[in-house]
Structures are given as structure tokens and as C-alpha cells.
Structure 1
Amino acid sequence: MVKRIGWIGTGVLGSAVVARLLERGYEVVVYNRTVQKAEQLGVAVASSPRELAETCDLLFLCVKGQDAAESLLFDPERGVVASGRKGLCVIDMSTVAPEFAVSLHQRLEAAGLDYLEVPVSGGREGGRKGTLGALVAGREEVFAQQRDVLGELTSKLLYVGEGGKAQLLKVLNNLAESIHMLAAAEVAAIGKQAGLDLTLMHEALSSMRGYSTYMGVLFERLINPSDVVSTSLAVRIKDLDLAHSLADQFDVSIPMGALAEQLFKLAAQQQGAARDQTECVKLLLP
């Protein structure tokens, strides 16, 4: 039975999911490279990933970038593997390249650890409410063992098979999200300049086939402005870079993805990379 959960990475999504786990009655110990971010959560803070691996029943990883994951897991002194722990399950909620995920499966299992790749969608709000959508890849018996804990965090949980497949699907999803967000921004910008009421526009469009989840995300931010970051422009750019690498690997041209990356980079230059992805709409407004 899982009682004590170790959590690595207390960014926007990580901090939201930690709050959800605490609410559901789990003891959580965290590690973050920026200690101040971890301390803000009001829970015990470990000195290293190795310490978490030595003392917890289950370990989550939720970080941005493959270099970070590599160091946190495999640093010879402070990394998870350095603990020498056998049989511990590592659940990785990060979004990484599929081939990197495959290598993590191979290397962690060789070190005696179980590994599940579980990229998620739903942002800060989904993490806090336990309504994330999650794809799971790895050994099915390991997934069965961790299903109850993952069920506390998700409203949609789909097992997709062998290592790498969940990340492949997640990268494709993020490409679609990026394009949908910019399409929604064009729609909202024209409507706003035409004098349409944003609430009316949202209500009308939500009943039509052109509507998308990301149109809803954008209109919610426009109708109820907030500085809270759900998904940053930096993360959106990172996701598009992964999509381009995947497209190159399979010799597929993605012109809309290329334009999306340019526009999100421009938004990051103008508004700041740490700002929410919905700031992209300001590119289109006078």
C-alpha cells in the first residue's frame, strides 16, 4: 500500500498535483532544484532525489526537459538510481521525446526499478482537481499496481502499451493543442475587434463544430483575466520542438506546426516566456 510519495519537480503542474495528493490523504515529500519553490508547498523537502528513492513507497517525476530528467535519475551521487533501491516504481509525468522514454524504461529496469511513462494533459486546473487526462506506457502489471493512485489524479486514464507509445501520442496531442490555440486566438481577435461580446461569442461558438477545448481555454482567460500560469509559453515552445523532431524522424512536413512555433516564440519575446500560453492572442490585437 502506498503511504509515502516522493515527488520531484514542483513547477506549475507538479505543485498542483502535490496539493491534490495531500488533499486525498497521502504523505508527500518533495524535491526541487530550486528549494524555495518546494518549501512554498508546506511539506517535507528532501535534500536529493536519492533521499526520496531511499525513503518513499512511490516516486513521481514531473520536470521540464530531458537533461533535467537525466540528471535527477542518473546522477552518480544524488540521483534516484544511486540509491540502489530495487522494486521502487518511478512514474514520469514529464513530456519527453519517445526515444528518450524508451531509453528510460531500459535503463531504470536494468537498475531494478519499475518505470511508467504517464504524460498528462489538463494543466494546473486539472492537476489540482484530479481531472487530468493521462496516457500510460510500460509493463501492464506495474500499471495495475499503481492504478488506484493514478486514479486519484485523473478523470481519463488510458493504458496504451509498450514504452515510448504514450510519449508519442502526447507529442502529437501537444502539436494539435498549439495549432488550436492559435486558431482560437485569430477567431477571438476578429470577434473582439468587431465589437462582439466575449461571453456571447463563447456561448455561440461552443455550440458549433469549429469549437475546440483550446478555444474554451482561451475564452475563459479572456472573460476572466488572470495572471495565473496554467501552461507557459516556454512549455508550449518546448512541446513544438519535440513535435518537429518527431516529424523529421518520420519525414513528415508540418507547416502549421512550424508557423505555430514561430508565433509562440514571438509571443515569448514580447510577453515573457514564463507567461501563460494564452498571451499569444496579444500578437493579433492592436
Structure 2
Amino acid sequence: MSTIAFIGLGIMGSPMAVHLQNAGHDVVGYNLHPDKTKPLVDAGGSAAASIAEAVRDAEVVAVMVPDSPDVQDVLLGEDGVFANAKEGTLVIDFSSIRPDVTVQLAKAAGDKGFRLLDAPVSGGEAGAKNAALSIMVGGADADFAEAKPILDAVGKTVVHVGGNGAGQTVKAANQLIVAANIQALAEAVVFLEAYGVDLGPALDVLGGGLAGSKVLDQKRTNMTTKSFEPGFRIDLHHKDMGIVTSAAREAGVVVPLGGLVAQLMASARANGDGGLDHSGLLRGVERLSGRLSG
């Protein structure tokens, strides 16, 4: 069992930290909003008043924050991990950030005597709560082997996909696929409703055929009830689509559907839906179809 500092206890990070504590690790949590540490403390973990305090005695540091600049601040800041953790500490970055930034951070980690794995996750809030996340890991073989028991405590599908940056690249591809699926499902729902079809049975039969997907299974209730309490916010998926389109351009490949969905995600955000669950793309289809109410 390890002493783990967990930085970032939001929708995803909080249940992940609790699972690690329940698995027998000694977890010290830090979050910008201290009240977010309560579930971890209730599970037997402890709360730190700063990143420096959280990481000082940690063997492993886990990071789950929103974007590339946030990870850079956590790792490189004066109060950050590299300035305060013990040399040799393994850092597992569960955040979804730019692959090129991850490569730069991995080099900085190595230069300062640390080891870094990029380990972005997929599965949303439900996956985090059920310890059923899919985790795509980039980094050295030995570091992955050391981290595997920790990753297994929060994930169901844990795969080493290559060196540093590979995990983030695979996550970008994941977000492309998820966004396209959500958009297609949203369009199908509006189409079915326009014809007065009984939506529940229609989605049942679609889910049993080739049109079936985890997106349909997990997001159908949001769309049928028009309830978009965030499991994964449009704001964050907007960020991820920016990563996809930028990285594709750098690689010299085209993602025409990805580019379109990125614009639809940006439109949803511009219309005030950024804080909604990404299933809220349904509202964009309704808006374009003149069917949005409320």
C-alpha cells in the first residue's frame, strides 16, 4: 500500500481518491475548494491545506485537474509537486491535456528526478463512482508496472498504450468518438420526436442493434428527460475537441467530422450550455431545428 497525494477532487477526482483510500492506501487530498475534500476525509483519508503539504511525504502523486495550464501549475509551480515532493516520486496525471504538453512535463519530471505517467480516463462520473474507468497510460514500462495496482483500484480497463504522450493521444481519439456519438444520438432523438415516435421503445430497439453504444446506454436518460446535470461538462469536451483538432493538424491528418463536432460543441458553449453535461448537445440540435424550449 502506498501513501498517495491526490490533487484535484472534483466530479472525477473525488470518487477516485475515495476508491484508493478504500483499497487500503493512505490518501492525502488537496483541492482549491477545501469543502471538496469531505468525501475523502469521511472515507478515512486526510486533507491538506496546500499542494506542498499534500505531496511532501507521498510515494505517489495523482493529479486530476481540468486543463494543460492547470497541470503545469500543479507540477511546476512554486507550491507544486516538483518543488516539494521527494525525489523519485511517481506522478500519475489522470487529467486530459495536450499530448505535447505531457511530453514536455515528462522531460521536466525526469530532469528533476521524478517519473511521470499520463493516464487520462474515460467513463465519466459513473465510471469514476463505480471504479469502472477506462485508463489509457503513457510512460515507461517499469513505471506502468509500479502504478498498475493503483490504476486497477479506480479503473476496469487499464492499458499501457506507449511512451509519454501516448495516453493523451489515445484520450483525444476517445473524445472524438464520444462527441460524434453524442451528436448522432442527439440528432436521432430530435428526428424521432419530430415524427411522434415513442422514444423509449425506439431507443430500446436501436440499442439492441448496430446503432447500440455505451453513449446510447448512458446518455439516453439525459436526453429523454432533458436533464443535463453534468457528469462531463460541455466546457471540458470543448477543450478536448480543441486538443483533437490541433493535434490532427500538427500530424497532417484530417478529421472532418471532428472539426464539425468541435464547432457544434463551441456553439453550445457560446449559447450558455458550457456547464451542462455533454449530452446537452441535444439542445444545439433542438436550437437549430427551432424546437428548443426553456
TM-score (structure 1 length as normaliser): 0.92
Q: Which residue of 1 aligns with 2:31?
A: 32
Aligned residues: 284
Distance 1:52 1:96 in 2: 22
Distance 1:220 1:103 in 2: 40
TM-score (structure 2 length as normaliser): 0.90
Q: Which residue of 1 aligns with 2:211?
A: 210
155-164 or 256-265, which deviates more: 256-265
In the TM superposition, residue 217 of structure 1 has moved relative to its aligned partner by 2.6
Distance 1:280 1:226 in 2: 12
Kindly provide the amino acid, as one letter, of the partner of residue 44 in structure 1. Answer: S
Q: Which residues in structure 2 correspond to 1:132-211 (within 5 Å)? A: 132-211=133-212
In the TM superposition, residue 228 of structure 1 has moved relative to its aligned partner by 3.4
Distance 1:141 1:253 in 2: 35
Distance 1:227 1:209 in 2: 26
Q: Which residue of 2 aligns with 1:19?
A: 18
Q: Which residue of 1 aligns with 2:102?
A: 101
In the TM superposition, residue 191 of structure 1 has moved relative to its aligned partner by 1.1
Q: Does 1:50 align with 2:55?
A: no
In the TM superposition, residue 52 of structure 1 has moved relative to its aligned partner by 1.8
In the TM superposition, residue 117 of structure 1 has moved relative to its aligned partner by 0.9
2:12 is paired with a residue whose SS is helix
- Quote the sequence identity (%): 26
In the TM superposition, residue 226 of structure 1 has moved relative to its aligned partner by 4.6
Distance 1:23 1:271 in 2: 38
Contact 1:121 1:134 survives alignment (8 Å) = yes
Distance 1:21 1:226 in 2: 30
Distance 2:190 2:224 in 1: 13
CA root-mean-square deviation:
1.8
Distance 1:84 1:153 in 2: 23
Distance 1:174 1:16 in 2: 21
Q: Which residue of 1 aligns with 2:130?
A: 129
* 1:127-147: CA deviation from partner (whole Å, max 9, x where unpaired): 111100011111111111121
Kindly provide the amino acid, as one letter, of the partner of residue 153 in structure 2. Answer: E
Distance 1:83 1:22 in 2: 22
1:130 is paired with a residue whose SS is coil
1:82 is paired with a residue whose SS is helix
Q: Does 1:253 align with 2:254?
A: yes
Distance 1:80 1:122 in 2: 27
Distance 1:10 1:122 in 2: 16
In the TM superposition, residue 272 of structure 1 has moved relative to its aligned partner by 3.0
Distance 1:197 1:259 in 2: 29
Q: 1:161 to 1:201 in 2, by over 3 A?
A: same
Unmatched 5+ stretches in structure 1:
none
Contact 1:137 1:162 survives alignment (8 Å) = yes
* 1:189-240: CA deviation from partner (whole Å, max 9, x where unpaired): 1112222223212210112112222222321323466553111000110000
Contact 1:185 1:218 survives alignment (8 Å) = no
Distance 1:177 1:170 in 2: 10
1:214 is paired with a residue whose SS is helix
Q: Which residue of 2 aligns with 1:65?
A: 67
Distance 1:269 1:12 in 2: 23
Contact 1:271 1:279 survives alignment (8 Å) = no
Distance 1:271 1:163 in 2: 35
In the TM superposition, residue 109 of structure 1 has moved relative to its aligned partner by 1.6
Q: Which residue of 1 aligns with 2:274?
A: 273
Q: Which residue of 1 aligns with 2:77?
A: 75
* 1:230-272: CA deviation from partner (whole Å, max 9, x where unpaired): 1100011000000111111022232222221221122223343
Q: Which residue of 1 aligns with 2:7?
A: 8
Unmatched 5+ stretches in structure 2:
none
Contact 1:53 1:88 survives alignment (8 Å) = no
Distance 1:68 1:204 in 2: 43
